[in-house]
Amino acid sequence: DQQVKQNSPSLSVQEGRISILNCDYTNSMFDYFLWYKKYPAEGPTFLISISSIKDKNEDGRFTVFLNKSAKHLSLHIVPSQPGDSAVYFCAASGENSGGSNYKLTFGKGTLLTVNP
């Protein structure tokens, strides 16, 4: 049973426009969410995270929004650049749940293509 879902396998946008990548989760114990970017044959690199006590976190061109009631988060990239073309993974953990849950659960990823 997938606890973190990225329902769009791919997304294509024009350079300069906004990219919106979506992620849904089912486990209500998740309270820390992360986005990673991955190029082929390389390890993922951390982009941005958000704790469940917030609904928005911004870092330069990247903004993550969290809607806890809908168990939904999204990553906005604006403006999109050709170098942003990669697979983006959403991940979740229960860091602040009081337990010792160190596990990061990943979605299947969304391939973003930014066209010049």
Q: Which amino acid is at 91?
A: A
Q: Are strands 110-115 and 86-93 parallel, antiparallel or unpaired?
A: antiparallel
Interface with another protein, residue 89, by CB under 8 A: yes
Q: Which stretch binds another protein (CB under 8 A): 19-27, 41-49, 69-77, 78-86?
A: 41-49
Interface with another protein, residue 93, by CB under 8 A: yes
Integer Rg of the chain from CA: 14
Count of CB atoms situated within 10 Å of the CB of 41:
5
What token pair was written down for 2?
A: 């997938």
One residue of 84, 95, 112, 114 binding another protein per CB under 8 A? 95
Chain residues in the site for another protein (CB under 8 A): 6, 9, 32, 34, 36, 41-46, 49, 89, 91, 93-95, 100-109
